[in-house]
Structure 1
Amino acid sequence: MIHRTAATAAQHSRSGRISSLDLLRGVAILGTFGTNVFLFAHPGGPLGFFQDFVSTANGFAQHVEVGLRTLSNGKFLALLTILFGVGLELQYQSARRRGVPWPGRYPLRAGILFMEGVAHYLLVFEADVLMAYGLTSLLVAYLIGRSDRVVRNVVIVVGGVYTTLILAVTALLVAGPGISGAPAQVDPATTASWPAQVTVRFTDFLLLRAETVLIVPSAVVLFLLGSRLRRAGVFEDTEKGAKLRARLLVLGFAVGLPLNVLTGFGGPDWFLVDRYLLPPLVALGLLALVTHLSLRMRDKPGFVRSGLIAVGRTSLSCYVLQNVLAGFLCYGWGLGLAERFADARPWWIVGLWVFVGLVDVAFALLWLRRFDRGPLELLMHRLYAPRRTPRASGPAQ
């Protein structure tokens, strides 16, 4: 039954949607959890992870954990950010075709996303990205329709300043005493009470949301990059699209990935470069690779591809779902698996990622049997969509 559901989801994705984009979103959502899972699985929760940035495993297991973090850290988040820019471009083009002023009511949509992010941050997860996406989309909505010259200048200036600051801070860390390589002593009681966690997130709002300062400038660049890649035809099965994807593959896997591996194993002093500068290069390679494979796979999608497409169609709901489920499984107020399996890192974390990912896929497939959007997507659509005045149907009988 689930296989039939999977095929149905894939067919629906091809109806009026770009299935390669849904596939990419699914990969990005599950891949993003590949980074976040280490925050949930830390005995002290995300706050504990942020205190030491290093593995609590030892020996060979520690090298494996660092390798797994390097594999996922920042890359899928960057991919998701680029895809958000592609989605914004599709909405802009749709508005133009319909003759609707842009950005029109889009700031309302950005505001709704921001408020969803606030709720997600306070109630679920310290490392929420929805707030940053809401702010960025509001800014980019006023830039996306500008000329290529204006957009190029914005990307160069914002990207250049951002890169310079990241490299300068990294140089200071490398030259100075740096970040301690010893894990901090973290009290697992910090995750024992959900109300206490919510209180900490509220009282330490500015501190815990400091990453937004790093995410928004990067997201502005990646949103605009996603928009222009869509216009350049990177998702099209044409000679031009194939050449562009080939260049992105080289940039991502021949340049970005080797450098990212070096910084990943270079120690915590390289954290900023490892998370914010190099992952977007690898993300471009991932975008090109998945798009190329999607365009070549003309057969009926199997369970894996259909499941990823379904997750992509319900990406917002699956993003929140995986974080809620991980919190319940890992924190002390839930099953407390993070403390219980602290000595089994990183092996049990891989199992946790697989389990939560399968729950995401199953939820998405089953939900899409009855609805064309995820539950949070439906809520956003209901809040954002303009109310239509019903037509008069004649005098009452």
Structure 2
Amino acid sequence: MTELLRQRARPKAPTYPRILALDVLRGLAILGTLGTNVWIFTNPEGPPSALEAPTTDTLAGAVEMVLRFFANGKALALLTLLFGIGLELQYRSARKRGRRWPGWYLWRAGLLFVEGLLHYVLVFEFDVLMAYALTSVVVAFLVGRSDRAVRWWMIVVGTLHLLFVGLVTLGMSMVSASNQPLVVPSRPDLFTHGGYLEQLSDRLTLAPFYRLEAIFILPLGIVLFLAGSRLLRAGVFDDTAKGARIRARLMVVGLGVAFPLNAVTMFVLGPSWALVDRYVLAPVVAFGLLGLVTTLLHRMRAGRPGILRRGLTAVGRTALSCYVFQNLLAAVLCYGWGLGLTARLEGARPWWVIGAYVGIVALFMSLSSLWLRRFDRGPLELMWQWAYQAPQRRRPAAGSTPPPVAAG
């Protein structure tokens, strides 16, 4: 491991063309996930509060609801799209080098699953890496098939996903009409006064509940992974007339149609439509965000990157590390076994939450920028790469491979 750090001390030229927009988009998606998770960490009820919607009777509640709306589901879907794009890039790299596919990619997916499992058990209840790992195994066998086959897979899986979300939404509407609250069997003060080991035990005990989101992420992930792969092939990142047309269509559908509908389901139809918000409309909005950010980056290409763009790029290149450590830092700041700010500042919500989010974002933009001055990957990415290459060291064709898509 020490030798690997020495080898990485001097940045090396990438072995494949880097799409700079991907780094910015990935950084935006990673920090966007914190925009959703921070409201969970700062709620006295902890992760079970994810089932609740803030009341809008007060200014504080209205502000929280608006801020949660902008992040909810959109960052998750954007990150999922980017995973699919990364899988496509790795497929191209394997084919170009004449390597068997999926081959060692399955080992890559296994490592990602272990990474997600550790993140779930040790840090945060709503980890997405495990679901991404399972999704990537399925998509790895589909990405090289014909466009027609991929299209049918997207239609069938997408239809099943919509039907399931519709049925669950109907059930939630019936529960809401009967005024029966959803109860999570977790100690009420566990996250404000409980110890770390108590929370760890709670995550293990309630794993079936906390892992329920995978039921929605897996089919949605298959569709978005394949969509990301096909968008890359279609030239969505190309600075051409064709690429501009694709991005314009994505913005019209995602931001012109899905975004207003998402606002209606969130602010008008209420909590019973939460699954439609997060797993149907928000993913469509994510397509629009991909088109918008890429278009803006093409227009600003000639100018010198500003502090925001440089920060997002740095986070995007160290995305796996930032994703895990930002959640760990939020837990240390908020939970009872740490600084306990959630209990201390409960009356100042949501204003202190906004400050905490801005502070964490600024910190990780700065730390990732400083780290990349010496290394070309984040700390967890370096460990991950070492583990990925370990069983291949005696294979003459092993070589070096690009980092996992989550790591930039």
Question: Normalising to structure 2: TM-score of the pair?
Answer: 0.88
Q: Which residue of 2 aligns with 1:19?
A: 20
- 1:45-76 CA distance string (max 9 Å, x none): 113x14x5122775121111111111110001
1:175 Cα deviation from its structure 2 partner: 4.5
Counterpart residue identity of residue 44, structure 1? E
Give the Cα separation in 1 of the matches to 2:228 and 2:151. Answer: 13
- C-alpha contact 1:110 1:135 (8 A) present in aligned 2: yes
1:179 Cα deviation from its structure 2 partner: 8.2
Give the Cα separation in 2 of the matches to 1:301 and 1:311. Answer: 15
Give the Cα separation in 2 of the matches to 1:97 and 1:12. Answer: 18
Alignment of 1:37 with 2:43, yes or no, is no
The partner residue of 2:358 within 347, 354, 366 is: 354
1:213 Cα deviation from its structure 2 partner: 1.3
Matches within 5 A, 1:228-247: 228-247=230-249
1:158 Cα deviation from its structure 2 partner: 0.4
Q: Which residue of 1 aligns with 2:331?
A: 327
Q: After the TM superposition, which of the residue ranges 188-197 and 217-226 deviates more from structure 2? A: 188-197
Give the Cα separation in 2 of the matches to 1:285 and 1:22. Answer: 17
- 1:284-323 CA distance string (max 9 Å, x none): 0100011011111121212110110010000000000100
1:88 to 1:390, Cα distance in 2 relative to 1, 3 A: closer
1:181 to 1:66, Cα distance in 2 relative to 1, 3 A: farther
Counterpart residue identity of residue 294, structure 2? T
Give the Cα separation in 2 of the matches to 1:214 and 1:106. Answer: 24
Q: Which residue of 2 aligns with 1:269?
A: 272
Counterpart residue identity of residue 37, structure 1? V
Three-state SS of the structure 2 residue aligned to 1:104 is coil
Give the Cα separation in 2 of the matches to 1:19 and 1:190. Answer: 39
Q: Which residue of 2 aligns with 1:290?
A: 293
Q: After the TM superposition, which of the residue ranges 372-381 and 80-89 deviates more from structure 2? A: 372-381
1:354 to 1:183, Cα distance in 2 relative to 1, 3 A: farther
- 1:196-225 CA distance string (max 9 Å, x none): 011111122222211111111110110000
Q: Which residue of 2 aligns with 1:146?
A: 145
Q: Percent identity?
A: 53
Alignment of 1:167 with 2:166, yes or no, is yes
Q: Which residue of 1 aligns with 2:393?
A: 387
1:188 to 1:175, Cα distance in 2 relative to 1, 3 A: closer
Q: Which residue of 2 aligns with 1:194?
A: 196
- C-alpha contact 1:54 1:183 (8 A) present in aligned 2: no
- C-alpha contact 2:64 2:350 (8 A) present in aligned 1: yes
1:164 Cα deviation from its structure 2 partner: 1.3
Counterpart residue identity of residue 359, structure 1? L
Question: Normalising to structure 1: TM-score of the pair?
Answer: 0.91
Give the Cα separation in 2 of the matches to 1:228 and 1:86. Answer: 8
Give the Cα separation in 1 of the matches to 2:363 and 2:203. Answer: 27
1:274 Cα deviation from its structure 2 partner: 0.9
> How many residues end up aligned between the 2 structures?
381
1:16 Cα deviation from its structure 2 partner: 3.8
1:189 Cα deviation from its structure 2 partner: 3.4
Matches within 5 A, 1:191-230: 191=192, 192-230=194-232
Counterpart residue identity of residue 323, structure 1? N
Alignment of 1:259 with 2:261, yes or no, is yes
Give the Cα separation in 2 of the matches to 1:72 and 1:355. Answer: 17
Give the Cα separation in 1 of the matches to 2:66 and 2:89. Answer: 36
Three-state SS of the structure 2 residue aligned to 1:29 is helix
- CA RMSD across the alignment: 2.5
Q: Which residue of 2 aligns with 1:309?
A: 313
Counterpart residue identity of residue 25, structure 2? L
Give the Cα separation in 1 of the matches to 2:357 and 2:77. Answer: 19
- 1:161-183 CA distance string (max 9 Å, x none): 11011122213333553485989
Counterpart residue identity of residue 104, structure 2? R
Give the Cα separation in 1 of the matches to 2:91 and 2:16. Answer: 20
1:190 Cα deviation from its structure 2 partner: 3.7
Q: Which runs of 5+ in 1 are unaligned?
A: 1-10, 392-397
Counterpart residue identity of residue 381, structure 1? Q
Q: Which residue of 1 aligns with 2:400?
A: none
- 1:29-56 CA distance string (max 9 Å, x none): 1111101111101112113x14x51227
Three-state SS of the structure 1 residue aligned to 2:145 is coil
Matches within 5 A, 1:28-67: 28-47=29-48, 49-50=49-50, 52-55=51-54, 58-67=57-66
1:234 to 1:104, Cα distance in 2 relative to 1, 3 A: same
1:293 to 1:181, Cα distance in 2 relative to 1, 3 A: farther
Give the Cα separation in 2 of the matches to 1:314 and 1:180. Answer: 45
Give the Cα separation in 1 of the matches to 2:195 and 2:178. Answer: 29
Alignment of 1:250 with 2:252, yes or no, is yes
- C-alpha contact 2:190 2:199 (8 A) present in aligned 1: no
1:283 to 1:14, Cα distance in 2 relative to 1, 3 A: farther
Counterpart residue identity of residue 326, structure 2? Q
Counterpart residue identity of residue 280, structure 2? L
Counterpart residue identity of residue 353, structure 2? I
Give the Cα separation in 2 of the matches to 1:62 and 1:56. Answer: 5
